[in-house]
Amino acid sequence: MLKRTLWAALLLLLTGPDPATAQQRQITGRVVSTSGVPLENARVVIAGTSQGTTTDAQGNFTLFVPEGTARLGVSRIGHLAREVSVPPSQSSVTVQLSQDVLNLEGIVVTGQATSVARRNLANAVATVNAEELTPVPAQTVEKALQGKIAGANISTNSGAPGGGVQVDLRGVSSINAASEPLWVVDGVILSNVAIASGANAVTAASSGSNASNQDAPANRIADLNPEDIESIEVLKGASASAIYGSRASNGVIIVTTKRGRAGAPEVRLTQRVGYYELSNKLGMRQWTRDEAVEAFGAGAASFFNADGTPRQQFDLEEQLAGRRDLSTETTLSVRGGSENTRYFVSGLYLDEAGIIDRTGYEKQSIRLNLDQRLGSRLEAGVNANLVHSLAARGLTNNDNTGTSFYMVLPFTPNFVDLRRQPDRTFPENPFERSNPLQTIALMDNSEDVWRFVTAGNVRADLAQSDRQSLRLLLNGGVDYFQQENELFFPPELHFEDDDRQPGTSLLSNSNNLNLTGNASLVHVFTPAGGTFTATTSGGVQYSDQDLNVVRNVGRNLIGGQRNIDAATSIEAFEDRQRVRTLGLYLQEEVLTLGEKLLVTAGVRADRSSANGDTEQYFLYPKASASYRLPGLGGFMDELKARLAYGESGNLPLFGQKFTPLSASNNIGGLAGLVLPLPPDVAVAGDPNIEPERTREIEGGFDLTLFGGNASLELTAYQQNITNLLLQRTVAPSTGFATEFFNGGELRTRGIEAALSASLLRRDNLNWFTRATFASNESEIVSLPVPSFRTGGFGTALGAFQIEEGKSATQIVANVVENGAVVVRPVGDANPDFKMSFTNDLTFGRFNLYGLVDWQKGGSVINLTKLLFDFGQNTPDFATEGAQRIAGFGRETRPYVEDASFVKVREISLGYEVPVQMLSRLGVAVQSAEITLSGRNVATWTEYTGLDPEVSNFGNQQIARNIDVAPFPPSRSFWLSVNLGF
């Protein structure tokens, strides 16, 4: 009441008497599309005010306006807004709205429970709708987003089927904390954890029994079905994501799934068939007999003829990864309902064959979204999604045992026959301890996941009048998955008896439960005359994450049995993590000056069990403003200037406040808790640990051109990340080597741009194009500890160095200067810029679409090339490789390569089958489209590895771009038939 009184008083001072007291007249009308279809829920207001109404199901409206000529503003999501004048002599009007191909009038989330029209938005929030997301089949939603968001660096860690993708929004935002954005699906915080398979038990890529981050795990957001998604909004920086508080420093990705619509059921069936194929090879040295004898000894001569030519030559990469088996995908959805009940039901069956034998990815998904109106003021909804997936990912990435496929090939010359023999056995590899063709034929590395996500929501209109409304919004949900990793390496594998414990079996069971609850009140006030609209929202959010990983490893399998209890040597490991967070938020939005000025301010207060003080609240404020200048004249329609500031956080990793203890040892023969590591590497927790804090200021402008047929967005930002989670050396007398603490500052600056245009709009010819650009750089502004290295394998192989005044992603290595070996910067993992180009051309019944992704700069540490040099097996070894390997340990620069590339990410050609043709066939089909498409069909790069998009250590912001024997990349081709009933 106080707020309304204050606004009314201010209004009277600024504008004088209430214009609503003037004499009024009634206008009736209808809003339709350019093709004459009635448009429901179109907004009709008196221009320059927020006073208005919405159209009914037939597009009709009634509005009271002041006497005289009336100017009406008409808008609807998916269509371009326009103003019309209605003279005093006219009491009815029909308004046509054109399609909004550039999404200028879209609605964008600005808070936990509020949203605004994109034309008033004060932040650079990227939106991807269903049509833009899946023009070409994609295994996971992150792959479907590649190249479509300015400021998002979305890259695969390897070519392994089933996921393994990192999303970086606006560059580096941490050194040691979480690197992934927060994923929110229909209001539920979804887990995107990547759980290692446990292959480290065989590869020994990382010492100890803990799961290694070199196991090429899939991140669990891969469980989402891209075909179920209606839209995705990406809050890239703290100025937009601050309302999500202490988990939003890496940005927030808000996913909205498809809902039902009033009307007859719409049935969509899509059948796709296709295949994957190896998209790049490293190549191998072509040997002469003398070279082979020199490299491998006199025994190598037996592989050659008397004239010195090889008896046989084999394409070992093709033998390992040349599979082109059929892949299929079937999706079915039904959408419909009545005015009170709306539903969306979908199903998915996906079966994709990997390019390596006995690898692949399968997924089945069922979804039900149901909305029910329970009265004039009460509406409820429920979402339920059940997912089952199976992934077989082979054995790739780094190892220290000579077992990983691409760790064996560098030391295996192409004149060796590794194929299965007629007696079904595999020959031993005379130059390595394993035969990769035998390994893939006999081993198992399977990942079986069951996931259930359900959410419920209630919307209650507590109060409603001409000037104000009060709404209660409740939503919450459960995200639960169970992941089982089963690995089996039978005793007959050539490498299995090297440790005198032939046969290894591993079983991991992982369970994750996420609980999310939100309660919000939203009050909207518009004074008489509609000179402004004030939206006040506040609420509470609770989240609980509980992850438990149990792993058992058995060695020396009796009789080659798979069961863990058939082993004579058994190890057990468990990792339990639980984090609970409570957040309170308050936000105010004021839209005024004829809907030209939007001012927003808000704050969130968070406390979490991950912090040292679990009762302390940390505040994250935000403020933003935008102002539109319409009617500029000429080819410029409207200019919007915007400025935003916000703060968000990044929680400490689970356990950083605790000192780890182990119960696996004893003290004086008695069981006791001891430090699990020797004192020279033991790490102490910090009982006062706090979240990292990101402060961001963002500014820019949006320009609408040529009657809404083109738009330009330009944004500049600066993020200052303080309270970094670091480790420092402590006195040896403490019994520890280092301890966690907060300190230091990291700064990231960048610019983003997006240009969209509808170049042609004719009855039978439409051409849409879009280009995005993003560039950022980071700097360690303050570092309270001496510079240190993180990631990599030491300066002889290249490492990442954190150093005050330098880039956070700089790569340092050994180089020779004046005859001496010194450590110097040799590269930077962060690219100079990324650009993408999208074109969508419709001509008659044909549609041609393409997306090209361009990365300039960035560096990759190519240790796969080093391995081939070690094996003297690089194609150029005779001319350049020998020189490179001669400098190993002294000169690392030949193995730090430019990661620039141009990729054709997506391309498709579609044909819409005429309805008349369908009717002649006697098929009860309303629409049909046939499409040929491909993903990652071509790559141009100077990088000599398999793929410049690579990360041996999985998802992390700093120590990416290390190439060590990854799963090779692939391209895919698809034939799709899309039917509507």
What is the C-alpha separation between 646 and 740, in angstroms, rounded?
27
Beta bridge partners, 827, equal 811
Other Cβ atoms within 10 Å of 539 Cβ, number: 20
What are the 10-residue block averages of pLDDT along the chain, 981 residues in total? 42 41 80 84 79 82 88 81 87 86 74 81 91 92 95 93 91 91 94 93 72 81 95 91 91 94 91 97 95 93 93 96 97 93 96 96 97 92 97 94 95 96 95 95 96 96 89 96 97 88 95 96 90 94 96 92 92 93 96 93 96 96 96 89 96 88 69 66 88 97 92 97 93 84 96 95 90 97 94 92 96 95 96 97 95 97 97 95 95 97 98 82 82 97 97 89 96 96 87
- Give the residue among 124, 152, 298, 104 at the shortest CA–CA distance from 756: 104
Confirm if 594 and 583 have CB atoms less than 8 A apart.
Answer: no
At 277, list the tokens.
């194929």
Confirm if 531 and 592 have CB atoms less than 8 A apart.
Answer: yes
Confirm if 708 and 80 have CB atoms less than 8 A apart.
Answer: yes
Other Cβ atoms within 10 Å of 669 Cβ, number: 6
- Give the residue among 540, 613, 622, 586 at the shortest CA–CA distance from 248: 622
Per DSSP, the three-state class of 409 is: helix
At 725, list the tokens.
């989670």
At 251, list the tokens.
């940005």
9 residue type, one letter: A
What is the C-alpha separation between 929 and 278, in angstroms, rounded?
29
What is the C-alpha separation between 662 and 350, in angstroms, rounded?
43
Q: What is the pLDDT of residue 680?
A: 61
Long-range (24+ apart) CB contacts under 8 A made by 465-472 are 467/4, 467/525, 467/526, 467/527, 467/528, 468/4, 468/523, 468/524, 468/525, 468/526, 469/523, 469/524, 470/521, 470/522, 470/523, 470/524, 471/521, 471/522, 471/523, 471/524, 472/519, 472/520, 472/521
**Alpha-carbon separation of residue 683 from 40, 500, 740, 785 (angstroms):** 62, 34, 7, 16
At 72, list the tokens.
């009406």
At 384, list the tokens.
């339920």
Task: Give the DSSP H/E element, type plus range, for residue 942.
Answer: none
Q: What is the pLDDT of residue 678?
A: 64
Q: What angle do CA 22, 25, 31 make, to 5 degrees?
A: 125
- Give the residue among 739, 738, 734, 727 at the shortest CA–CA distance from 784: 727
pLDDT single digits (tens) 771-807: 999 999 999 999 999 999 988 899 999 999 999 999 9
Per DSSP, the three-state class of 867 is: helix
pLDDT single digits (tens) 481-495: 999 999 999 999 999
Other Cβ atoms within 10 Å of 526 Cβ, number: 22
Q: What is the pLDDT of residue 779?
A: 97
DSSP 8-state secondary structure symbol assigned to residue 62: E
Strands 799-802 and 859-862: unpaired
- Give the residue among 234, 247, 238, 151 at the shortest CA–CA distance from 719: 238
Confirm if 99 and 106 have CB atoms less than 8 A apart.
Answer: no
At 928, list the tokens.
């049909």
Strands 745-761 and 859-862: unpaired
pLDDT single digits (tens) 356-368: 999 999 999 999 9
Burial class of residue 908, CB neighbours in 10 A (0-12, 13-18, 19+): buried
Q: What is the pLDDT of residue 616?
A: 97
What is the C-alpha separation between 549 and 511, in angstroms, rounded?
7
pLDDT single digits (tens) 128-176: 999 899 999 998 999 999 999 999 999 999 999 988 899 999 999 999 8
Q: What is the pLDDT of residue 212?
A: 55
Q: What is the pLDDT of residue 110?
A: 72
804 residue type, one letter: E
What is the C-alpha separation between 609 and 59, in angstroms, rounded?
52
Per DSSP, the three-state class of 825 is: strand
Strands 738-742 and 683-684: parallel
Task: Give the DSSP H/E element, type plus range, for residue 421.
Answer: none
pLDDT single digits (tens) 836-864: 999 999 999 999 999 999 999 999 999 99
At 541, list the tokens.
């959010």
